[in-house]
Structure 1
Amino acid sequence: MGTRGSGPAAVTSAEGGTAGAGRARAGRFRPGRFRRGLLAAFVAAAVVVPLSAAARPAIPAPAPASLPPLSTATLAGTYAANRADAAEASAMAAAHGDRGRAAADRAMASPARHLLAYDGRGTGRAVEVFGDPATARHIAVLVPGSDTTLDTYDRFRAGASALHRATGAGTAVVAWLGYDTPRTISTTALTAARADRAAPLLVRFVRELRGAWGTAPHISLLCHSYGSVVCARAAAAADVQDIVLFGSPGTGVDSAAGLHTRARVWAARGADDWIAEVPHTRVDLFGATVGFGTDPVSPAYGARVFAAGGGGHSDYFAPGSVSLANLARIVLGETAEVTRA
């Protein structure tokens, strides 16, 4: 699930069936059956739409650089090597005739960018840090939702940059596009398959952050939309202090306790976020488990629910917003200052 106007936004109607069927079943409405019907309808659309669209040709790019483990001594070299890869990827994309990707790669190659990882192949992966992770007392790792690729990376990066400005010196914010996000209108956005593949990569990255600097920073996972499914899969093994789920379709478990983590678990949803209309249920359809279950902001889930203001699905990092202020407080460990919903 990605930005406003994407995701299962089609699953928003509370009406279904014919008028005659409605009269015949008056007083017998079954929410569970209704939700399963909505999910089945969306799955059908998700299968048809990608098959009817033309496939994008593969974009050539170099394989990622082989780099030494992160440390204070290797950080500058890591940045330089990844910028060089981005520059080469830009040239290859331009020669291939993909001017949009060439421009995205070229922006990544800027000397101002601090890339901990880069892969221009396919939809692309990038891990960019704001601030100095070697000296940071607090590190926030942002995990994005669906439709976040190198081609749409700027909107994800803007959120990381806004959070870094809100948290100030002594904090590092990592934009972790370290996995292949699903397309919003696809069956992959309704199952945990991509999250299952992403979770070990996220755990490995957190472990690398922990071991790189000889310090013990406060690490928070900030997990937006489908990214909350990734964080849920990583929660038991990731050594972090806070896991923050916002704009979440669910996590695939029934409660925060089901994450089996010692981290504090937080949840929020903006008042105008369309994700609230997605059925928070799990059903077996076509041999796969579809949907992610309990709403993380519901009392049944048991997370620490905080105020997110009146914003929509893409507004959690809007400068001056209630949600950004609370996210910054969580990252800084100022938990008593977080305003509750």
Structure 2
Amino acid sequence: MPSVRRTAAAVSVLAAAGSTAAAGHAEVYAPPTPARALSASALDARYQATGRDITRALATAARVHDTGRTRALSALHGADRRFLSFDPRGDGRAVEVLGDLRHAHRIAVVVPGADNSLANYDSPKFVGGGSRALYRQARAAAPGARIAVIAWLGYGSPSTLSAGALTSGRAEEGARSLARLLAGVHAVNGRARFALLCHSYGSVLCGRAARRLAPLPVDDIALFGSPGTTLRHASDLGTSARVWAGRSRGDWVRYVPHVRFAGLGFGADPASPGFGALRFDAGTGPHSGYLMPGSLALRNLTLIALGRDAEVAHA
């Protein structure tokens, strides 16, 4: 317990310093346009409205000489990219669709962990780049499969060096947003089955969201690089979905104490036999490498996304 308290104190100091620095920057980006509720008939209008929001944010970035944001938004502005939502304020939020959402039989939602932002969104280590690698792998593994992938940066991803990364507060907020998203996507496509692929702090979020998602057709929840879910056992998630867990042998998260005390920490290790998840082989890569092209973790996560659980290599 003392190690948790010392860690919490250290990151609280870092978080306070970061907040003070951030306060010196005026917010210049406009909020997104109020969006229509998701439905099959409103989907294209939603894509178009979000595209206009990205265009407006890109113009703002150019006007204020925000070179980092200009570079990131220029990539998101591509004609072949479609977003269900986008918010340029702060570190930013974005929910991107890869594939045909209306006609998919399987929809994989990638839920990222800490340190995700618009600035690094397209990096292969983060949610946009990782989701594209997953979609390409799925298309290669099953060319005829009707699969869509959603890259979901739909919550305030905490900084690793912050108090938020030690508590479930951001996960609670994100769980509500994720439940709203999946309910909306289910309204667009009532036939598709869902798989949630939840990395690092995103696995805390999925743990908090699982019970809310119980009425929806979620077949699989994969927790990888997880510090814990705040729950003691996979059955405590309150879901009928298959619960998977994997941790690569090069992942530093194995050193995180699996305790929960006074709201700090995330409890039991999902990759341990006692948690009761189906354990998949996540290979040897680093914490940020699960969705890297060519990795064993990507192969197995793609099979989970496709619903081909019999082919997943177990740990």
Q: CA deviation at 1:66?
A: 2.4
2:89 maps to which residue?
121
Partner SS, residue 132 of structure 1: coil
1:8 maps to which residue?
none
Counterpart code for 2:69: R
> Where does 1:45-194 land on structure 2 (aligned, <5 Å)?
45-53=10-18, 55-56=21-22, 57-155=25-123, 156-168=127-139, 169-194=145-170
Contact 2:109 2:150 in 1 (8 A): yes
Partner SS, residue 150 of structure 1: coil
2:205 maps to which residue?
230
Contact 2:221 2:242 in 1 (8 A): yes
| Rg larger for | 1
Counterpart code for 1:273: D
Runs of 4+ in 1 over 6 A off after TM superposition: none
TM score, norm. by length of structure 1:
0.85
Q: Does 1:251 align with 2:229?
A: yes
Contact 1:243 1:264 in 2 (8 A): yes
Structure 1's 233 and 58: CA in aligned 2 closer, same or farther, altered over 3 A?
farther
Partner SS, residue 241 of structure 1: strand
Quick one: which of 206, 211, 221 aligns to 2:187? 211
Contact 2:43 2:188 in 1 (8 A): no
TM score, norm. by length of structure 2:
0.92
2:142 maps to which residue?
none
Q: Tell me the matched-pair count.
A: 301
2:240 maps to which residue?
262
Contact 2:39 2:184 in 1 (8 A): no
Counterpart code for 1:303: A
Q: 1:272, 1:38 → 2: CA distance?
A: 23
1:222-274 Cα offsets, whole Å, 9 max, x none, are: 10000001101100121211111000000001110111111110000000000
Q: CA deviation at 1:200?
A: 1.0
1:272 maps to which residue?
250
Give the percent of matched residue pairs that are identical in Structure 1 and Structure 2.
45
Gaps of 5+ in 1: 1-35
1:163-200 Cα offsets, whole Å, 9 max, x none, are: 10111241100000000111110111000011111111
Contact 1:128 1:174 in 2 (8 A): yes
Partner SS, residue 151 of structure 1: coil
Q: CA deviation at 1:303?
A: 0.4
Contact 1:250 1:280 in 2 (8 A): yes
Q: 1:67, 1:182 → 2: CA distance?
A: 25
Gaps of 5+ in 2: 140-144
What RMSD in Å do the two structures reach over aligned CA positions?
A: 1.4
Deviates more, 1:87-96 or 1:238-247: 87-96
Q: 2:35, 2:12 → 1: CA distance?
A: 39
